[in-house]
């Protein structure tokens, strides 16, 4: 397996990428998918139950299957975060004090105490992170940016009566997303150009000022290029009579079908179940069983 070049930025980040596999998931109304994403976030953060998390994870994995995304590829999106996650998990394990109800000591070495409560909290943390990353990745794999911004804009339209500039907001998001890969390519080109002149942008060491200065050959031209692009885009938009969201019509209209509503309902059900399991203390029962075994 060839080493990816130090300059190949765009390939290794999986979140935010769109994979056009044409599955059923891809054809759902983007507003529904956005709401599903929100429900997933709420469910994941709101649940205090590992069982609940497991159900949500199963749903996400099922979604990945439906969307015909290779599981391996999706999981590879987690790999950059693994060391950081491991550290956080360790912290959680040792941070929960042993007098918390239902928590028994599992392992002790000098001042480090691992309790079942700590282990549980760590598992919850790792689980939440994985479900969130995979879930958001699934959303981006199955929804291209056009659909996303249409979804956002149409969801926000009811709020226009309160003065929220739905169209401007959606346009800003749209353009920002569209220019991310363009700017990434520019950054890549600039890094290569400066490396060709002997610059060592990746080097560490030195105080914050030295490190910042080392990045100037990248940051300054990138900034200038971005401004140039912005200027160019503004001119193009003005030349095409853009004056803001007022009075605009739309070529694309969104229409929700029964399958969209059904999927949304299923998601709502799962999220509520996950939160419910937490509230009902399903895990306390699990914890109790674990504690009585040790």
Q: Kindly identify the residues of this chain, within the stretch 78-137, that bind another protein according to CB under 8 A.
A: none
Token pair, residue 56, equals: 């949500």
Q: Compute φ and ψ for 113, nearest 5 degrees.
A: -120, 125
The set of residues, in sequence order, having a beta carbon less than 8 Å from that of 124 and lying 6+ positions away, is 48, 50, 53
- Secondary structure letter of residue 251 according to DSSP: S
| Rounded CA separation 171/228 (Å) | 19
Given a contact cutoff of 8 angstroms between Cβ atoms, the answer to whether 7 and 67 are in contact is no
Among 101, 111, 205, 243, binds another protein (CB under 8 A): 243
Residue 211 CB, shortest distance to another protein, in Å, is 16
Q: Kindly identify the residues of this chain, within the stretch 164-203, that bind another protein according to CB under 8 A.
A: 171, 174-175, 178, 181-182, 186, 189-190, 192-200
Residue 209 CB, shortest distance to another protein, in Å, is 17
Closest CA to 191 of 181, 180, 182, 202: 202
- Secondary structure letter of residue 27 according to DSSP: G
Q: Kindly identify the residues of this chain, within the stretch 203-242, that bind another protein according to CB under 8 A.
A: 216-217, 220-221, 224-225, 228-229, 232-233, 235-242
Strand, helix or coil at 109?
strand
What is the pattern of x (binds another protein, CB under 8 A) and - over residues 14-53?
---x-x----------------------------------
Q: Which residues bind another protein (CB under 8 A)?
A: 1-5, 7-8, 10-12, 17, 19, 70, 73, 144-146, 149, 171, 174-175, 178, 181-182, 186, 189-190, 192-200, 216-217, 220-221, 224-225, 228-229, 232-233, 235-243, 247-253
């Amino acid at each position: 397996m060839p080493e990816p070049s130090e300059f190949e930025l765009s390939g290794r980040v999986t979140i935010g990428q769109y994979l056009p596999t044409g599955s059923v998931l891809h054809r759902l109304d983007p507003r529904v998918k956005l709401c599903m994403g929100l429900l997933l976030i709420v469910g994941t953060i709101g649940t205090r139950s590992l069982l609940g998390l497991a159900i949500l994870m199963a749903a996400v994995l099922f979604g990945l299957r439906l969307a015909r995304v290779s599981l391996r590829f999706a999981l590879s999106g987690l790999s950059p975060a693994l060391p950081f996650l491991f550290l956080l998990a360790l912290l959680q394990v040792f941070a929960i004090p042993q007098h918390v109800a239902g928590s028994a000591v599992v392992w002790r070495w000098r001042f480090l105490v691992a309790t079942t409560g700590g282990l549980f909290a760590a598992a919850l943390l790792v689980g939440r992170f994985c479900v969130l990353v995979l879930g958001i990745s699934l959303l981006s794999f199955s929804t291209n940016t056009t659909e996303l911004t249409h979804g956002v804009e149409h969801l926000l339209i009811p709020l226009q009566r309160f003065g929220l500039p739905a169209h401007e907001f959606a346009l800003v998001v749209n353009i920002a997303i569209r220019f991310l890969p363009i700017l990434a390519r520019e950054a890549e080109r600039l890094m290569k150009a400066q490396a060709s002149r002997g610059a060592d942008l990746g080097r560490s060491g030195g105080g914050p000022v030295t490190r910042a200065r080392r990045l100037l050959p990248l940051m300054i031209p990138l900034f200038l290029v971005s401004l140039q692009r912005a200027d160019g885009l503004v001119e193009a938009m003005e030349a095409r009579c853009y004056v803001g969201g007022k009075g605009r019509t739309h070529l694309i209209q969104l229409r929700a079908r029964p399958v969209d509503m059904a999927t949304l309902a299923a998601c709502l059900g799962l999220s509520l179940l996950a939160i419910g399991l937490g509230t009902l203390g399903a895990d306390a029962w699990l914890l109790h069983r674990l504690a009585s075994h040790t």
